[in-house]
Structure 1
């Protein structure tokens, strides 16, 4: 990894917003999912959450745009997803037209926030609406009464970014160093990262120049087959 790429990744990680996220409930069209994840990366969201019923699940291998730089947590159901978000102290907003809905620009996004978006045709489920803290709407004055879900996500998220930028929240690093090291290795050494996964070898540390700062043992294991590594660990455990 070149020093320039190292610094580029460091700059990106320094602005990641760990307390801002989206939750996609049955958003199943690959181009919409990819577009939303790409927007999340662009505004500095570190992790997104997904819920897919069996009939809505994406096909295996479907690309999710910038997934390399945005972590994805999948939940079995919407109750678990919202429960996990609220356990982190997040306000959960849902795009839903109701008597209690407010303009999406009138929300305080400097608070820990999760924004929930629903399935393309039917929107979010009644269960999700009941569990959310606030309904939000995007004002429209034309004949069309709804926006594409990826467009709606971009509008809401860029408002969140605007507020957080004004509040100076992008000037403070939120990610811990362990997560930064993990992403530096994955983003800077993708081939070696795949080898580590296949051989079940821990990631090495990355130094301030973007170089791998591993000991001789790590490099030796990288030259060994997965079977040889398992045998080595078995021998060490028996000693």
Structure 2
């Protein structure tokens, strides 16, 4: 098989990650997903599409597990593809608490592990594994408007996404031959949104806004958002704007 795309996607068992994986499935694709659980529907769709799919089960909030997976996956990347993509999509909004109540060390550490540390480990391994390849190399880090605007109750989430934004800028400066973007995907109708709507309003003062958006049908679907993101990744000017928002594009 002539490979067109090799794509590594974290958090791909559901929601936006799953939609991105599905959108990349064609006969010239080799897709590697990372998630805590396997997704039978992804495997079935890959078989129908005639592409290669590897599903890696890993808890990326555990830095040691993330490091092992990063090393193993990137060491085994197939050569000869025209394009290599790393999509760091996995993330959590927890813990949702006022700053004065953030006293759960394990929860804070797990959030930084998933949202930041695993992203850095995967990116470092990807950069090393692909640096000698004569191919297009692109990294997409799923960020959030919360990394660019303070949201009471989301101190941890805001801090981790701000870290992702600044890290992406550093990588772009260090590796100009790699296209890197930290992208806010907008408000997408995923399991994370369900979790947000279940928050205690004492911990998250902005709860009513997200409840209203859901009730009024203002949430974008994962499939719709994934389609926009994949068109965006394919653009010639991808990476020109390191901190971007998919809502800037049709």
Is the shorter-chain TM-score for this pair beyond 0.5, marking a shared fold?
no
TM-score, normalised by the number of residues in structure 1: 0.37
Bigger Rg, structure 1 or 2: 1
TM-score, normalised by the number of residues in structure 2: 0.35
